[in-house]
Amino acid sequence: MTATTTRLPVATTDAAQIRADLDEHGLAIVKDMLTADEVASIRARLVEQAAGEYAAGVAESDAGPVTEPGPIQYVWSLISKGQEFRDLLVRSDALSYVRHVLGPDVITFSYTGNAIGPGAPGGGAHTDQIYMPADTPWPIVCNVIYMLDDFTADNGATLVVPGSHRRPIGELTHEEFVRHAVPAVGRAGSALVMESRVWHSIGINRTADVVRHGILAAYCKPFIRPQENWTLSVPREIVDAAPPILRELMGYKSWQSLGGVGGPYGQTLEQVQGWRDDAASSTNHLQIAAIDWGWASPAPTIIGELDANGAPR
């Protein structure tokens, strides 16, 4: 059995130490990654979007649709829900740590905001490596969890087992997790960077009135299929206005013969012609055939930016 530690790495701004912590512990706490103004702006947009989705009847939690007030709300697919979120996703400092873990080429695996309120249950210890054989010796995903409020043991900070990235997944049991897990605490503006083999779970929010807000930006190796199909869920106008790094993170850049259009090599987005905007092009076999749970709609319903009343923003 590989040894683990119950010591959380000390929050730091030292880039070399952050990389060393990622190697040793599988995770690092980046202190003051966001300024107070950035925290306020991103948090306000997340709170407004969450309120708008609830008002519009499209709110969700980790368990599915939210039909009445509850302790957990997730806001999915953040790329299409505010410039604040798009700017956050492409931060060069965050990407430098992600690339240290995954290598130079990455895409966005998922991008989610959450609000974890009083009474939110914990549990569900897992890794984000579940898509690969258990003995895969390298991570496929790297998470950057931005703390928009102070993350404390009382308000349900993410529970982690430092060093567990070196342990076989077969050793992950409830008892072993409880024995070694520690809360990844940090003040607002800090970020938890964590690779996909680390054992972790949501913590229990034991407070009476504190809602903990966070942004979960998950990146993956470019040959992994992302959780979110960005090429369908992000509106055309956002793609057209996106800088090259954001287009790349959405999967619009082919990688070593993967992800091409009309062949394995692909083109730049500016070279792609014939976007199918006309009504005739929407009649195809995917739409006239029965679509089951396993298929993405070729014409998805996109939830964009909403104000607190659920109206388009």
Per-domain boundaries in the chain: 15-288
Across the range 31-42, mean pLDDT stands at 98
Q: Which of 62-71, 160-169, 184-193, 302-311 has the lowest mean pLDDT?
A: 62-71
39 pLDDT higher than 50: yes
Across the range 216-233, mean pLDDT stands at 94
Identify which has the larger pLDDT, 275 or 92: 92
Query: Residue 21: its pLDDT value, please?
Result: 97
Query: Residue 275: its pLDDT value, please?
Result: 38
What b-and-e string marks burial along 160-194, b requiring 16 or more CB atoms within 10 Å of the CB?
A: bbbbbbebebeeeeeebbeebbbbbbbebbbbbbb
Query: Residue 38: its pLDDT value, please?
Result: 98
Q: Which of 38-42, 105-109, 198-202 has the lowest mean pLDDT?
A: 198-202
Task: Work out the pLDDT band at 293, boundaries 50, 70, 90.
Answer: very low
* Per CATH, domain 15-288 is 3.40.50.10300: no
271 pLDDT higher than 80: no
Query: Residue 300: its pLDDT value, please?
Result: 57
Helix pair angle (92-102, 15-25), 10° resolution: 40
Task: Work out the pLDDT band at 162, boundaries 50, 70, 90.
Answer: very high
Query: Is residue 203 classed as helix, strand or coil in its secondary structure?
Result: coil
Query: Residue 5: its pLDDT value, please?
Result: 65
Best CA proximity match to 77, nearest among 260, 270, 300: 300
Distances (CA, A) of 249 to 108, 217, 309: 5, 11, 31
Q: Is 23 left (phi over 0), alpha (psi -120 to 50) or beta?
A: alpha
CA neighbours closer than 13 Å in the CB half-sphere of residue 249? 25
Across the range 196-204, mean pLDDT stands at 93
Across the range 7-33, mean pLDDT stands at 96
DSSP structure string for 14-62: -HHHHHHHHHHHSEEEETT-S-HHHHHHHHHHHHHHHHHHHHTT--EET
In contact, 75 and 114? CB cutoff 8 Å: yes
Query: Residue 262: its pLDDT value, please?
Result: 64
Q: Which of 63-67, 76-80, 157-161 has the lowest mean pLDDT?
A: 63-67
Tally DSSP H helices, then E strands, for the chain. Answer: 9, 12
Which residues touch 263 (CB under 8 Å, ≥6 apart)? none
Mean per-residue pLDDT over the chain, rounded: 86
Q: Which of 63-67, 87-91, 163-167, 298-302 has the lowest mean pLDDT?
A: 298-302
Query: Residue 2: its pLDDT value, please?
Result: 59
Identify which has the larger pLDDT, 1 or 189: 189
Most confident among 75-84, 268-277, 302-311 (mean pLDDT): 75-84
